[in-house]
């Protein structure tokens, strides 16, 4: 027997090895193996098993790693699709579907010494006092970790060993599972009676799950093209059918914050468990708070649907991640909740995938494989006949468009549960404030008054500014000097703590000059301009010296527990005003927060990105959603220099549909997603001339292969650029870009992969291909 193996060293090729007699029956598709490669031993994954090979003189597989196949055939197939669609080497795609710690050669289980009481054959001996005390604890627990015993009995291992010598106990090494949530106390919860719109939504999801259960999985069909049809966007000609047969198994759950989406997820998961299937719940890393996890654990911690809920995210220790992953692989945990890469969790059979906050950009991985977890979720759902639910208060245009075309089923929850009102949003025109106060203030009169009201009433306030640091730049008004990063084409940000200038791209640090560094100028009156969260904090302290203020951004939240601690303090009312960057924008429920202030709403609008309006709308809506989750109606102040911008006005009116209609006009006109799909090709190098030259060369190649041929399939292809990237220089590398737009991305990405491999580039220029990019920087 022969095994085909994909090696971890990226070679875009697979190699055949003989399965030695001792391993026959153990090596299967998905097994992790060690094989000889030249003089080295390398690791790889078996991608196929065959009777014979086209090659002679095959070497044998050396050994198998792990008792179980690590990559299930279904996940393997998903990795293949990913490599194809996102233009990356299959080895890289394969590598990303397993957590690093699971891929390692040694088993990652933690063994610990356990103490176990043994049955007593004869009379119980009389023990010295200390030993008797220790024995009392063991007798009650029967079995426990040695370390725990030593701690709770305040004794030493030597004393415990004496009991072992007497034949009373046995000390042995056992696997001890690490449970990252062991210290949380979780009270079981019961399903809540749904309101009418929740019930309608759940009914449709359940019906689709039942239909899926009776369908033959499409995973056997072999080709990928058919399966990713659901992802492709058609050119919009011809009306979408009113009723879909069979019903779509992807849902877009559009519900304002607090409308009860999570409760629907929980009840849909319960249905999956009843069907004997499991579920994956994706949430953005930042909303993966203990509160979120707890809600899922609490529902499935008891009763007949009891199961383990595994959690996968980057804050776990390697050991915890190892154990959580294996709980899933062994089928003990049937529910997985995690960030982006949890979409590859080996849940089998899989009944349901939930992508919460589906519009979040953190679902996109910014390094190879540059996959979008939401889109991978949809493909996986189709491959494994699982129902996919995308949830959001502010759906991405992509998903809403697919729903409007009938590709997804739209489910709407228009109201908050318990009739809580949406907050009242007031837009403050900062141009007028600037005139009155001779220069733009940080706080408008209106916002100041509102804060002071809340302080008097003992209610809480959240202030939002998506920019950390003190000032955005250091400028000389006399000669026009701006302190810039030597490695990146952006200005340095002034940080008050440590009085330093910091680059937010590469981390470059500089001391603040006391006079203008321009030799000919040396102006001592060099100034800081622009506002960051640090400055908001400082000004606020002057305005309200008695208020208890806390700031939350990447500069102060350094340790794993900081975030939790501050939120805990805020929850119990130890903080009056919380200032923060997007860290505080989502998922937090604080009933006593009745005011939200958005210091500078235009910030996201000025990004050189066709999604700038969409991002602003989403951000304003999400941040506003933090206000008024209790009995008192919330109030939001949006400070803006462009108060009539549609993104701001539609957010003010909580009008998603209005925003969608208006934004789609612009996307249609310029053929931007969701009307098309984008491939962003970036050339990078230290020598700008060479980068430019390579970009021109690439453009000619693209035209030659994709545009000139008479039979070209890419009739709708738009090639824009090459042009310098919005951030021309980052970490000493110059970047030039070409943007391609087409509706036929599956085909195009395959073609781009081939081209990239054949393209002759100078040695120090690299090309990256980003399919469906979310960051155009
Ligand atoms: P979302 O996920 O849309 O923000 P949640 O599911 O978190 O909304 O619901 C908000 C709050 O309302 C939660 O505390 C939840 O337990 C509660 N809730 C959800 N559905 C109902 C319902 N039908 N009746 C009463 N309370 C509900
Ligand atoms: Zn820099």
With a 6 A CB cut-off, is 72 part of the ligand 1 pocket?
no
With a 6 A CB cut-off, is 261 part of the ligand 1 pocket?
yes
Stated as kind and residue range, the H or E segment containing 389 is: strand 387-392
> Which residues touch 547 (CB under 8 Å, ≥6 apart)?
451, 455, 540, 541, 576, 577
349: which 2 tokens? 């059979």
Residue pointed to by tokens 């088993």: 107
- Cβ(281)–Cβ(555) below 8 Å: no
With a 6 A CB cut-off, is 263 part of the ligand 1 pocket?
yes
pLDDT-flagged residues of the chain (< 70): 10, 67-68, 103-111, 121, 175-178, 180-185, 215-247, 438-439, 498, 560, 585-588, 629-630
Work out the number of other CB atoms within 10 angstroms of the CB of residue 464.
28
Q: What is the dihedral of CA 704, 709, 713, 718, to 10 degrees?
A: 40
Q: Name the DSSP class of 423.
A: P
pLDDT of residue 105: 58
- Cβ(389)–Cβ(251) below 8 Å: yes
Polymer length in residues for the chain:
777
CA atoms within 13 A on the CB side of 503: 19
Residue nearest to atom 17 of ligand 1 (CA): 260
Output the CA 505–ligand 2 centroid distance in Å. 5
pLDDT of residue 595: 92
249: which 2 tokens? 């198994």
pLDDT of residue 519: 84
pLDDT of residue 548: 93
With a 6 A CB cut-off, is 255 part of the ligand 1 pocket?
yes
pLDDT of residue 260: 92
pLDDT of residue 226: 34
pLDDT of residue 157: 83
Which ligand has its closest atom nearest to the C-alpha of 194? Answer: 1
**Torsion sign, CA atoms 619, 620, 625, 628:** positive
Output the CA 295–ligand 1 centroid distance in Å. 11
Output the CA 693–ligand 2 centroid distance in Å. 24
**From CA 746, how far away is CA 197, in angstroms rounded?**
36
**Torsion sign, CA atoms 414, 416, 420, 422:** negative
Output the CA 192–ligand 1 centroid distance in Å. 8
654: which 2 tokens? 């909580």
Work out the number of other CB atoms within 10 angstroms of the CB of residue 440.
15
CA angle 744, 745, 747 (to 5 degrees): 75
Nearest to 529 by CA among 472, 479, 468: 472
pLDDT of residue 373: 97
**From CA 311, how far away is CA 297, in angstroms rounded?**
10
Output the CA 733–ligand 2 centroid distance in Å. 10
> Which residues touch 116 (CB under 8 Å, ≥6 apart)?
142, 143, 169, 170, 171, 172
Residue ranges of alpha helices (H) inside 405-489 are 430-436, 445-457
Provide the whole-model pTM. Answer: 0.82
Reduced to 3 states (helix: H, G, I; strand: E, B; else coil), residue 407 is coil
Output the CA 730–ligand 2 centroid distance in Å. 6
With a 6 A CB cut-off, is 258 part of the ligand 1 pocket?
yes
Output the CA 685–ligand 2 centroid distance in Å. 15
Give 70-73 contacts, CB < 8 A, sequence gap 24+. Answer: 70/30, 70/31, 70/32, 70/45, 70/98, 70/102, 70/103, 70/329, 70/346, 71/30, 71/32, 71/45, 71/97, 71/98, 71/346, 72/30, 72/346, 72/348, 73/29, 73/30
**From CA 107, how far away is CA 388, in angstroms rounded?**
33
CA angle 202, 208, 210 (to 5 degrees): 105
The CA-atom distances, in angstroms, between 136 and each of 132, 142, 153, 160, 721 are: 6, 10, 10, 12, 77
Residue pointed to by tokens 């299959």: 90
With a 6 A CB cut-off, is 682 part of the ligand 1 pocket?
no
Nearest to 638 by CA among 629, 651, 626: 651
Residue 165: phi and psi, rounded to 5, are -60, -35
From the number of C-beta atoms within 10 Å of its C-beta (0-12, 13-18, 19+), residue 412 rates as middle
Compute and round to an integer the Cα radius of gyration of the chain: 29
Ligand 1 pocket mutation pick from 190, 197, 254, 260 by most atoms within 8 angstroms of CB: 260
With a 6 A CB cut-off, is 194 part of the ligand 1 pocket?
yes
- Cβ(288)–Cβ(583) below 8 Å: no
28: which 2 tokens? 């299967």
Atom number in ligand 1 closest to CA 265: 6
Residue nearest to atom 13 of ligand 1 (CA): 260
pLDDT digits (tens, 9 = 90+) for 321-376: 888 888 898 888 999 999 999 999 999 999 999 999 999 999 999 999 999 999 99
pLDDT of residue 224: 34
């Amino acid at each position: 027997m022969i095994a085909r193996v994909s090696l971890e060293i990226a070679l875009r090729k697979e190699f055949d090895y003989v399965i030695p007699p001792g391993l026959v029956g153990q090596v299967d598709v998905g097994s992790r193996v060690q094989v000889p490669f030249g003089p080295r031993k390398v690791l790889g994954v078996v991608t196929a098993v065959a009777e014979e090979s086209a090659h002679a003189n095959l070497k044998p597989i050396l050994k198998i790693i792990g008792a179980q196949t690590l990559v299930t055939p279904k996940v393997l197939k998903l990795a293949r699709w990913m490599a194809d669609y996102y233009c990356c080497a299959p080895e890289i795609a394969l590598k990303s579907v397993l957590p690093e710690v699971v891929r390692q050669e040694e088993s990652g289980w933690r063994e610990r010494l356990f103490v176990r009481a043994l049955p007593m054959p004869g009379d119980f001996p009389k023990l010295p006092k200390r030993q008797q005390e220790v024995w009392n604890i063991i007798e009650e627990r029967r079995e426990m970790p040695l370390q725990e015993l030593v701690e709770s009995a305040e004794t030493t291992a030597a004393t415990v060993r004496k009991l072992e010598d007497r034949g009373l106990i046995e000390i042995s090494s056992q696997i001890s599972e690490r449970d990252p949530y062991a210290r949380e106390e979780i009270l079981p919860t019961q399903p809540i009676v749904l309101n009418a719109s929740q019930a309608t939504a759940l009914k449709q999801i359940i019906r689709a799950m039942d239909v899926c259960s009776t369908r033959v999985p499409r995973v056997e069909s072999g080709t990928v093209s058919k399966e990713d049809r659901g992802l492709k966007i058609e050119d919009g000609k011809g009306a979408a059918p009113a009723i879909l047969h069979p019903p779509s198994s992807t849902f877009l759950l559009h519900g304002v914050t607090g409308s009860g989406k999570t409760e629907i997820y929980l009840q849909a998961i319960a249905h999956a468990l009843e069907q004997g299937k499991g579920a994956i719940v994706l949430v953005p890393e930042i909303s993966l708070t203990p509160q979120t996890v707890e809600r899922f654990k609490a529902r499935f911690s008891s009763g007949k649907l009891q199961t383990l809920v595994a959690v996968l995210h980057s804050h776990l220790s390697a050991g915890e991640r190892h154990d959580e992953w294996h709980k899933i692989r062994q089928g003990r945990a049937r529910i997985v909740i995690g960030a982006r890469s949890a979409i590859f969790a080996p849940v089998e059979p899989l009944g349901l995938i939930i992508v919460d906050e589906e519009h979040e950009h953190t679902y996109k991985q910014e390094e190879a494989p540059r996959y979008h977890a939401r889109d991978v979720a949809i493909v996986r759902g189709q491959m494994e006949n699982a129902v996919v639910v995308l949830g959001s208060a502010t759906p991405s245009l992509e998903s809403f468009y697919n729903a409007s075309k009938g590709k997804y089923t739209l489910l709407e929850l228009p109201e908050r549960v318990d009739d809580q009102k949406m907050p009242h949003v007031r837009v403050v025109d900062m141009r007028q404030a600037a005139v009155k106060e001779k220069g733009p203030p940080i706080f408008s009169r209106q916002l100041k008054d509102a804060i002071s009201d809340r302080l008097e009433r003992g209610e809480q306030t959240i202030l939002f500014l998506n920019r950390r640091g003190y000032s955005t730049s250091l400028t000389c008004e006399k000669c026009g000097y701006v302190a810039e990063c030597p490695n990146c084409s952006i200005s340095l940000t002034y940080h008050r703590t440590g009085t330093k200038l910091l680059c937010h791209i590469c981390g470059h640090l500089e001391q603040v000059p006391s006079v203008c560094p321009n030799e000919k100028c040396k102006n001592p009156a060099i100034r800081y301009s622009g506002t960051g969260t640090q400055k908001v904090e400082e000004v606020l302290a002057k305005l309200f010296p008695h208020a208890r203020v806390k700031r939350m951004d990447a500069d102060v939240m350094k340790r794993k527990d900081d975030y939790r601690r501050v939120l805990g303090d805020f929850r119990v009312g130890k903080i009056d005003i919380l200032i923060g960057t997007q860290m505080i924008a989502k998922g937090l429920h604080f009933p006593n927060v009745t005011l939200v202030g958005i210091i500078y709403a235009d910030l996201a609008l000025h990004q050189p990105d066709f999604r700038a309006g969409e991002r602003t709308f989403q951000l304003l809506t999400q941040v506003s959603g933090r206000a008024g989750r209790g009995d008192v109606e919330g109030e939001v102040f949006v400070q803006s220099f462009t108060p009539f911008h549609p993104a701001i006005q539609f957010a003010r009116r909580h009008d998603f549909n209005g925003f969608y209609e208006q934004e789609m006009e612009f996307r249609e006109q310029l053929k931007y997603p969701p009307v098309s799909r984008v491939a962003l090709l970036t050339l990078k190098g230290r020598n700008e001339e060479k980068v430019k030259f390579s970009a021109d060369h690439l453009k000619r190649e693209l035209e030659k292969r994709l545009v000139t041929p008479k039979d070209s399939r890419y009739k709708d292809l738009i090639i824009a650029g090459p042009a310098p990237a919005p951030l021309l220089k980052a970490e000493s590398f110059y970047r030039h870009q070409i943007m391609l737009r087409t509706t036929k991305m599956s085909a195009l990405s395959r073609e781009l992969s081939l081209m990239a491999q054949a393209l002759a580039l100078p040695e120090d220029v690299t090309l990256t291909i980003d399919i469906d990019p979310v960051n155009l920087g």
